[in-house]
Chains A and B, each alone.
Chain A
Amino acid sequence: MIKLAIYGKGGIGKSTTVSNVAVELSRMGYKVMQIGCDPKADSTLSLRKDDKKIFTVLELIREKGNDFSLYDMVHEGESGVLCVEAGGPAPGVGCAGRGIIAALDKLKEKGAYDEYKPDVVLYDVLGDVVCGGFSMPMRAGYADKVYIITSGENMAIHAAANIAMAVEGFKSRGYAALGGLILNHRDVKNENEKVKELAEDFHTEIVGELTRSSTVWDAEELGKTVLSAFPESEMAEEYRRLARKLIEI
Chain B
Amino acid sequence: MTDIGILRVNTMLIKAGNNSDRIKNAHVLMKDAAFPSPFGGGLEYSSPARGTWNIVHTGMLVPEAHEIFICAASCLRGVVLTAAEMNALDRFSTVEVKENNLLDGDMEELLIDGVTDIIQKLPVKPPAVLVYTSCVHHFTGCDWKVMFRTLSEKYPGIDFIDCYMNPTLRKSGLTPDQIMRKQLYALLKEKEKNPVSVSIIGNDLPTNPDSDLIRVIKANDLDLHEITSCKRYDEYQEMAESSLYISYYPAAKAGGDALVKRIGGKHIYLPYSWNYDEIRRSIEILKQAISELRSNASLSDKTGSEYSQDLTDDEKRILECEQAYRETLELVGDTPIAIDYTFCPRPASVAAELLKHGFNVKRLYLDSFTGEERDDYEFLKKNYPEIDIYATVNPGSRFMAAENEGAREKWLAIGQKAAYFLNTDYFINVIEGGGMFGYEAVTDTLSLLREAFLEKKDMRNLVQIKGMGCCGCC
Indicate if the CB atoms of B145 and A140 lie closer than 8 Å: yes
Indicate if the CB atoms of A132 and B105 lie closer than 8 Å: yes
Q: Which residue of B lies closest to A172 (CB)?
A: B146
Indicate if the CB atoms of A66 and B141 lie closer than 8 Å: no
Q: Select one of A66, A97, A136 contacting B173, CB under 8 A.
A: A66
Residues from 95 to 132 in B contacting A, C-beta threshold 8 Å: 105
Q: Select one of A65, A98, A139 contacting B172, CB under 8 A.
A: A65
Given contacts A65-B172, A131-B105, are A101 and B138 in contact (CB under 8 A)? Answer: yes
| Chain A 123-157 interface mask (CB, 8 Å, partner B; 1/0) | 00000000111011001110000000000000000
Indicate if the CB atoms of B140 and A173 lie closer than 8 Å: no
- How many residues from A make CB contacts under 8 Å with B? 16
Does residue A247 face the partner (Cβ distance < 8 Å to B)?
Answer: no
Indicate if the CB atoms of A133 and B141 lie closer than 8 Å: yes
Indicate if the CB atoms of A173 and B146 lie closer than 8 Å: yes
Indicate if the CB atoms of A101 and B145 lie closer than 8 Å: no
Q: Which residue of A lies closest to B169 (CB)?
A: A102
Q: Which residue of B lies closest to A139 (CB)?
A: B143
Indicate if the CB atoms of A98 and B146 lie closer than 8 Å: no
Residues from 365 to 414 in B contacting A, C-beta threshold 8 Å: none
Indicate if the CB atoms of A132 and B141 lie closer than 8 Å: yes
Residues on A with C-beta less than 8 A from B138 are 98, 101
Indicate if the CB atoms of A66 and B139 lie closer than 8 Å: no
Does residue B254 face the partner (Cβ distance < 8 Å to A)?
Answer: no
Does residue A95 face the partner (Cβ distance < 8 Å to B)?
Answer: yes
- How many residues from B make CB contacts under 8 Å with A? 12
Q: Which residue of A lies closest to B145 (CB)?
A: A140
Residues on B with C-beta less than 8 A from A95 are 139
Does residue B161 face the partner (Cβ distance < 8 Å to A)?
Answer: no
Residues on A with C-beta less than 8 A from B332 are none
- Chain B proximity of A67: nearest CB distance (Å): 11
Interface centre among A61, A101, A132, A135 (most CB of B within 10 A): A132
Residues on A with C-beta less than 8 A from B173 are 66
Task: Provide the bound-state CA to CA distance between A101 and B142, in Å.
Answer: 10
Q: Which residue of B lies closest to A140 (CB)?
A: B145
- Chain A proximity of B147: nearest CB distance (Å): 10
Given contacts A131-B105, A173-B146, are A136 and B141 in contact (CB under 8 A)? Answer: yes
| Chain A 160-195 interface mask (CB, 8 Å, partner B; 1/0) | 000000000000010000000000000000000000
Task: Provide the bound-state CA to CA distance between A65 and B169, in Å.
Answer: 12
Given contacts A132-B105, A173-B146, are A97 and B141 in contact (CB under 8 A)? Answer: yes
| Chain A 177-218 interface mask (CB, 8 Å, partner B; 1/0) | 000000000000000000000000000000000000000000
Indicate if the CB atoms of B140 and A131 lie closer than 8 Å: yes
Task: Provide the bound-state CA to CA distance between A133 and B141, in Å.
Answer: 5
Q: Which residue of A lies closest to B107 (CB)?
A: A132
- Chain B proximity of A112: nearest CB distance (Å): 17
Indicate if the CB atoms of B141 and A135 lie closer than 8 Å: yes
Q: Select one of A65, A98, A135, A136 contacting B139, CB under 8 A.
A: A98
Q: Which residue of A lies closest to B139 (CB)?
A: A98
Residues on B with C-beta less than 8 A from A65 are 171-172
Task: Provide the bound-state CA to CA distance between A141 and B149, in Å.
Answer: 15
Given contacts A66-B172, A66-B173, are A131 and B145 in contact (CB under 8 A)? Answer: no
Given contacts A65-B172, A66-B172, A66-B173, are A131 and B141 in contact (CB under 8 A)? Answer: yes
8 closest A-B pairs by CB: A132-B141, A133-B141, A101-B141, A132-B140, A173-B146, A98-B139, A66-B172, A139-B143
Would you give 20 A-B contacts (Cβ < 8 Å), ordered by A? A65-B171, A65-B172, A66-B172, A66-B173, A98-B139, A98-B141, A101-B138, A131-B140, A131-B141, A132-B105, A132-B141, A132-B142, A133-B141, A135-B141, A136-B141, A139-B143, A140-B145, A141-B145, A173-B143, A173-B146
Chain B positions within 8 Å of A, measured between CB atoms, are 105, 138-143, 145-146, 171-173
| Extra contacts besides A66-B172, A131-B105 (10): CB < 8 Å | A61-B172, A95-B139, A98-B141, A131-B140, A133-B141, A135-B141, A136-B141, A140-B145, A141-B145, A173-B143
